[in-house]
Amino acid sequence: MINISKIIKWFIIVQPILDIINLFIYKHSGFQMGSIIKGPLMLIFISVTILFNIDIIKNKKNVLYFIILIFFYVFHVKSNEMVLFNLDKNIYSLVKTLIFPIMILVLDLIIDKVEKTDINRALEFSIVIIFIIFIMAKLTNTYEYSYETMKVGNKAWFFSGNEIGSILALLFPFSVFYYLEERNFYRFLLVGMVLIPCFMIGIKTTIVSIIITMFIVFIISVYRSIKNYKSLKNRKFNMLFGFIIILLSLILIYNSSTLEIFISRMNIVYDRDSLITKILSGRDIMLINNFEVFQNYLPRAIFFGIGNKVGISEMDFFDIIIRYGFIGFIIVFYPMLNLLFSIKSELKQYLIGSITDYKKTKYFVPIIIGTSLSFLVGHVVVAPSVSFYLSILFIAFKLELKGDIYV
- Residue 267 CB-density burial (10 A; 0-12 exposed, 13-18 middle, 19+ buried): exposed
Determine the structural domain holding residue 318 and report its residue range: 4-406
Collapsing DSSP to helix, strand or coil, 147 comes out as strand
Residue 395 to residue 385: CA distance in whole angstroms? 16
Closest CA to 289 of 271, 275, 304, 303: 271
Residue 50 to residue 22: CA distance in whole angstroms? 28
Residue 362 to residue 356: CA distance in whole angstroms? 10
Are 285 and 301 in contact by the 8 Å Cβ rule? The answer is no
* Of 122-136, 224-238, 333-347, minimum mean pLDDT range: 224-238
Which pTM was predicted? 0.85
Distant-in-sequence, close-in-space partners of 382: CB < 8 Å, separation ≥ 6: 93, 96, 97, 100, 312, 316, 319, 320
Residue 343 to residue 33: CA distance in whole angstroms? 37
Query: What pLDDT shows up at residue 340?
Result: 93
Confidence bin at 235 (pLDDT 50/70/90): low
Residue 167 has pLDDT above 50, yes or no: yes
Distant-in-sequence, close-in-space partners of 224: CB < 8 Å, separation ≥ 6: 234, 238, 356
Confidence bin at 247 (pLDDT 50/70/90): low
Query: What pLDDT shows up at residue 96?
Result: 81
Question: Rounded to a whole number, what is the distance in angstroms from the first to the last CA of the chain?
Answer: 18
Say which residue, 44 or 118, is predicted with more confidence: 118
Confidence bin at 136 (pLDDT 50/70/90): very high
pLDDT digits (tens, 9 = 90+) for 312-331: 777 888 889 988 899 999 99
Residue 406 has pLDDT above 80, yes or no: no
Evaluated on CA atoms 320, 323, 324, 325, the torsion sign reads positive
Determine how many CB atoms are found less than 10 A away from the CB of residue 376: 21
Angle at 97 between CA 94 and CA 101, to 5 degrees: 120
Are 122 and 109 in contact by the 8 Å Cβ rule? The answer is no
Query: What pLDDT shows up at residue 407?
Result: 39
Evaluated on CA atoms 114, 119, 125, 127, the torsion sign reads positive
- What are the start-end ranges of the H helices in 110-160? 116-139
pLDDT digits (tens, 9 = 90+) for 348-368: 989 887 788 899 999 999 999
Distant-in-sequence, close-in-space partners of 354: CB < 8 Å, separation ≥ 6: 360
pLDDT digits (tens, 9 = 90+) for 47-62: 666 666 656 666 677 7
**Residues 13-29: what's their mean pLDDT?**
79
Q: How many domains does the chain have?
A: 1
Residue 402 to residue 398: CA distance in whole angstroms? 6
pLDDT digits (tens, 9 = 90+) for 191-220: 999 999 998 888 888 888 998 998 888 888
Please count the residues of the chain.
Answer: 407
Conformational region of residue 163, where left means phi above 0, alpha means psi within -120 to 50, and beta covers everything else = alpha
Closest CA to 198 of 137, 254, 153: 153
Say which residue, 278 or 371, is predicted with more confidence: 371
Largest interatomic CA distance in the chain: 70
Evaluated on CA atoms 79, 84, 87, 88, the torsion sign reads negative
Query: What pLDDT shows up at residue 272?
Result: 46
Residue 160 to residue 379: CA distance in whole angstroms? 10
* Percent of the chain whose predicted confidence (pLDDT) is above 70: 73
